Chain A
Amino acid sequence: MKIPGWKELTPGAVILQAGNATEFKTGSWRSFKPKWKEENCIQCLFCWIYCPDMSVKVKDGKRGEFDYDFCKGCGICALECPGKKGNKAIVMEEEDK
């Protein structure tokens, strides 16, 4: 994205494009990455409820992959995940490992 010069700005730093936060990818903030283990998932959707962003994608009532463009790696989903028989369906892994 080109950073504008001072003559190209909206007066008063007002943002006129509603919902333009989607253009600002925050996934790079992550140092830990949640990994979904589908074999341990009971489809309770706790991860979808607890995610403070909208980074757990759900389609037709079923949990899908993480949206890594916006997941900041807070780990709340992994903490809340009940898993199956003591095995978590979401685990946190260090980035670049």
Chain B
Amino acid sequence: MGKIVAVTGNEAVAEALRQINPDVCAAYPITPQTDMMQRFSSFVSDGKVDTELILVESEHSAMSACIGASAGGGRVATATSGPGLALMWEMLYVASGMRLPIVMPVVNRSLSAPLNIHGDHSDAMGARDSGWIQLWSENAQEAYDNTIQAFRIGEHMEIRLPVMVCLDGFIISHSIERMEYLDDNVVKAFVGEYKSLNPLLDIENPKSYGPLILPDLYMEYKRAQHEVMTKVKDVVLNVADDFEKLSKRKYGLFETYRLDDADIAIVILNSAAGTAKDVIDQFRAKGIKAGLLKPRLFRPFPYEEVADAIKNVKALCVMDRADSFGAYGPLFIELCGVALHLQERPLMINKIYGLGGRDFMPEHAELVLNELVEISKTGKVKTFKEYIGVRE
């Protein structure tokens, strides 16, 4: 069986990439991802992997090189953060539109201005419509496990889509945690040999990638892209089942924590879920039925399944570590979509927290849970969207 280690999130994901040994990796350094690909480039120079590492002049070029390598027929990975992901924008849509199963850890960081390098979900939330599958990770273990599973999900012959694996910048990427590495041969066997689909380097069968598609056909390709996304949930669950057999760690479309009989609940992504779970335990000890839902698969979003999980909740707070100025937070908007599937929906509020790496403290979770208790008693919501942990 595996090995218990004390490592950072970046170190853990770099280790997953070493074990998977992709054919090609093109990456550009950006805080807080830099340390991940720096570790991976050491694996390349030390001969621990036989990956072709391409040094590029920007993230736009990094993703372009990944697209070329993936269309060529290779297993491809890269990684980025915040503004780096933003610079990849144009090419993200090319990767998904060409159905290329590139895997990209995204170490979540805020976007400028003002310039800030810390943990924030604005980067990946902005890329939610780019046609990439998104898996979100609470800690180093989940980031490592999700990275390994991402290859199986994206490369599935009925899917063939790129996958982002999100983990919080600094909070997870640079903090040391206890976690378990799987054995190299176990990971290798799990991801298997890479199978290409219509590779450009199959010179016996020449083909063209990236043609001009005019109004008479473009919409059909986009409709087909949506259809593929509808098949992702089943693949994610099947891959998670296989992964559980070898790791004893269970993954689903989302994680629920003490949610089954909960009257009030928090919906929250990534690292802050850990803090919120502790506070939920304190409320449970006081006899208050509090619970939590932490999405794992954010794209495609499992609306029906989340609806089923929260259907008995009376008051719900959706917490966003990203903002949509002049609108509700992106995760809250998804939960409004979930509410469409419910005859009786919970009373819902939206809190924006932790922007630009502002700490999410237990007292913030307490504040939210107390407000939910109040809402469930009175049946009244005072303010739908508010900022917490911000000075007046």
A residues bordering B, Cβ < 8 Å? 3-7, 9-16, 18-19
Contacts and interface: CB of A to CB of B under 8 A. Distances in A.
A16 B198 CA distance: 8
A19 B205 CA distance: 11
Interface stretch (B24-32, B96-104, B340-348): B96-104
Contacts of B227: 6-7
A contacts with B: majority SS: loop
Interface string B195-226: 00110000001111111010011011101100
B223 A6 contact: yes
Interface of B: 97-100, 160, 197-198, 205-211, 213, 216-217, 219-221, 223-224, 227-228
Nearest to A9: B224
B100 to A, nearest CB: 7
Given A18-B205, A18-B206, A18-B207, A12 B220 contact: no
A12 B207 contact: no
B contacts with A: majority SS: loop
B93 to A, nearest CB: 12
Given A6-B223, A7-B224, A12 B205 contact: no
Contacts of A13: 97-98, 209-211, 213, 221
A14 to B, nearest CB: 5
Contacts of B228: 11
A6 B223 CA distance: 6
A5 B207 CA distance: 21
Contacts of B224: 6-7, 9, 11
Nearest to B100: A12
A3 B216 contact: yes
A3 B100 CA distance: 25
